[in-house]
């Protein structure tokens, strides 16, 4: 698996990273394991956004909706029905993918900023419904103490589960990006008119990309339920969507691993900044301005520029 994703030195680093990730629970205290789990699932969320934003060039500005809906669908299945929890884990992503299909079908005719705005509008609708439908979703309290299967209740169980699911999803997403479909998607991003000319059904490809992105965001959502055992309406709020965009930009959205790196940087920073100041968003805002000014291609883009070749294969450079 790794051999196709990384080359040369990168391969060694990749294996080393994997081994470290699997051994972490032996070294780190419980709190840090929780943070690493959050990093993994947020990285998965950011990477799923990057499928459409970075590779597809679609202005998916309300990605958090799919994350939140996946989490809520799983949580409601777990608390309200007596079905096996493993079924609810599948239901969450499927509901997200279905939502991706519905929202995609409505929005896909519009381009760029109009697409983004219509999507934010639809996403806000979903948020309002979740926020206001007190009897069903718990309103602004959310749902707490979601029951989980025995094996996932321990922090290490949740961690390993998150790690394995994230790795599988990464592999699948990487395959998708490298597949003919992924190439077509990138072609559409760079030149939609020419793509249409050579016989690519632009809208259908974009729609499929939106569904896939929605699905993986839903996976990230149910992983959050597993790790945190709570859901709350802020998971669907538009500010979170823009934070995910920031993660993509910070890590570098022209590389596959960029969003994961961005998510890791932001969550680690948030954890440490929050311990001595409550003004985390101020720090995030200033950091963001510096990134936009000095690192428009993100951290990985910068590393790539400095090294030229090496660690990670650049997807595309504009």
Site for other proteins, rule CB under 8 A: 59, 61, 106, 109-110, 112-114, 117-118, 120-122, 124-125, 128-129, 132, 237-239, 242, 245-246, 249, 279, 281-282, 284-286, 288-289, 292-293, 296
Residues in a beta bridge with 143: 231
Concatenated DSSP letters of 63-97: THHHHHHHHHHHHHHHHH--S-HHHHHHHHHHHHH
With a CB cutoff of 8 Å and minimum separation 6, the contacts of 84 are none
Query: Residue 291 Cβ, how far from other proteins at the closest point, in Å?
Result: 9
Q: Whose Cβ is closer to other proteins: residue 106's or residue 164's? A: 106
Query: Residue 121 Cβ, how far from other proteins at the closest point, in Å?
Result: 5
CA distance 25 to 20: 9
State residue 231 phi and psi, 5-degree precision.
-135, 150
Please tell me the number of Cα atoms within 13 Å of 250 on its side-chain side. Answer: 24
Q: Whose Cβ is closer to other proteins: residue 67's or residue 159's? A: 67
Q: Whose Cβ is closer to other proteins: residue 239's or residue 275's? A: 239
CA distance 29 to 281: 27
Q: Whose Cβ is closer to other proteins: residue 179's or residue 281's? A: 281
Query: Residue 287 Cβ, how far from other proteins at the closest point, in Å?
Result: 8
Query: Residue 249 Cβ, how far from other proteins at the closest point, in Å?
Result: 6
Query: Residue 216 Cβ, how far from other proteins at the closest point, in Å?
Result: 21
Nearest-5° Cα angle at 59, 56 to 62: 120
Q: Whose Cβ is closer to other proteins: residue 23's or residue 102's? A: 102
């Amino acid at each position: 698996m790794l051999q196709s994703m990384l080359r040369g030195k990168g391969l060694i680093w990749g294996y080393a990273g994997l081994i470290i990730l699997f051994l972490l629970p032996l070294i780190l205290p419980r709190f840090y394991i929780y943070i690493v789990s959050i990093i993994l699932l947020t990285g998965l969320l950011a990477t799923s956004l990057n499928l459409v934003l970075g590779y597809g060039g679609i202005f998916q500005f309300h990605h958090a909706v799919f994350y939140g809906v996946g989490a809520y669908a799983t949580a409601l299945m777990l608390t309200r029905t007596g079905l096996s929890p493993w079924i609810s884990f599948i239901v969450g992503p499927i509901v997200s993918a279905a939502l991706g299909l519905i929202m995609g079908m409505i929005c896909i005719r519009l381009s760029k900023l109009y697409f983004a705005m219509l999507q934010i509008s639809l996403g806000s609708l979903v948020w309002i419904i979740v926020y206001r439908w007190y009897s069903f979703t718990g309103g602004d309290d959310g749902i707490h103490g979601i029951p989980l299967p025995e094996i996932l209740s321990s922090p290490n169980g949740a961690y390993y589960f998150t790690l394995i699911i994230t790795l599988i999803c990464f592999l699948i997403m990487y395959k998708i990006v490298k597949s003919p479909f992924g190439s077509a998607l990138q072609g559409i991003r760079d030149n939609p008119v020419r793509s249409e000319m050579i016989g690519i059904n632009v809208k259908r490809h974009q729609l499929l990309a939106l569904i896939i992105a929605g699905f993986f965001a839903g996976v990230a959502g149910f992983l959050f339920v597993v790790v945190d055992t709570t859901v709350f309406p802020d998971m669907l709020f538009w500010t979170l969507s823009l934070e995910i965009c920031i993660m993509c930009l910070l890590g570098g959205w022209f590389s596959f691993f960029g969003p994961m790196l961005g998510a890791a940087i932001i969550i680690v920073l948030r954890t440490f900044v929050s311990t001595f100041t409550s003004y985390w968003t101020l720090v995030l805002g200033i950091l963001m301005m510096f990134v936009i000014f000095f690192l428009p291609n993100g951290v990985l883009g910068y590393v790539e520029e400095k090294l030229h070749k090496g660690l990670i294969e650049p997807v595309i450079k504009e």
